[in-house]
Amino acid sequence: MCAQLGLPATPLKLRLIRIDLGTKEPEVLITSLMDTAAYPHALFKELYHDRWPVEESYKFFKSRIELENFTGKSVEAVKQDFYARIFMLNLTSMMALPVQDLINTNHKDCKYSYQICWTQALAKTKNVGILLFIRETIAPIIAKLQKLFPWSAVLFVEPNFTAKL
């Protein structure tokens, strides 16, 4: 089948690494880094934890801001969609982070962490974002928008997750 599809049929050398994360089942990672002296087993557990915020960021970009949902097929359309979505994310972040700081201050003694629902914050900003560029006075719009940002308790919030966006 590889020959029919024009793909190489040579075997790949891969290394399987079992990592115990303290849960019921261990994680098994697959890597092409075969040199055990240069890349010891212990290194991969730390890397596994370091990649988690990156994976969550990819999920955020793909599902929350629909980064791959383009309105056109031309290179120009794709670029415009990409930059427009990143711009709206940055605009939302600028308005949401002060709200998050207030939430953190008001709930610092609570059992659970609280955070803004970014999906809803993005949707609300998208609906009124254009008004920020056509109105002469935007402070009231920003204040009303910030009051609309919903938030809720979460069991765990990755530290500095939003800062990494």
| Total structural domains within the chain | 2
Q: Are residues 106 and 148 in the same domain?
A: yes
Q: Are residues 58 and 115 in the same domain?
A: no
Cα(16)–Cα(31) distance, integer angstroms: 7
Q: Which pair of structure tokens corresponds to residue 135?
A: 């109105």
Q: Which pair of structure tokens corresponds to residue 19?
A: 């990592």
Are 15 and 26 contacting, i.e. CB atoms less than 8 angstroms apart? no
User: HSE-up of 63 (CA within 13 Å, CB side)?
Assistant: 9
Are 32 and 14 contacting, i.e. CB atoms less than 8 angstroms apart? yes
Query: CB under 8 Å to 53, separation ≥6 — which residues?
Result: 158, 161, 164
pLDDT at res. 153? 58
Q: Is the pTM of this model over 0.85?
A: no
3-class SS at 1? coil
Q: Considering the domain boundaries, does residue 160 fall inside one? A: yes
Are 126 and 88 contacting, i.e. CB atoms less than 8 angstroms apart? yes
Q: Are residues 60 and 101 in the same domain?
A: no
Own/partner pairs for 65-74, CB < 8 Å, 24+ apart? 65/89, 65/122
**Residue 28 is part of which domain span?**
13-64
Cα(13)–Cα(113) distance, integer angstroms: 44
Tens digit of pLDDT at every position of the chain (165 positions): 988 999 998 988 999 999 887 878 888 999 999 999 999 998 988 888 788 888 888 888 887 778 888 889 999 999 999 998 889 889 988 998 888 888 888 888 888 888 888 888 888 888 888 888 899 999 999 988 888 887 765 554 454 444 444
Q: Considering the domain boundaries, does residue 55 fall inside one? A: yes
First-to-last alpha carbon distance for the chain, in angstroms, is 42
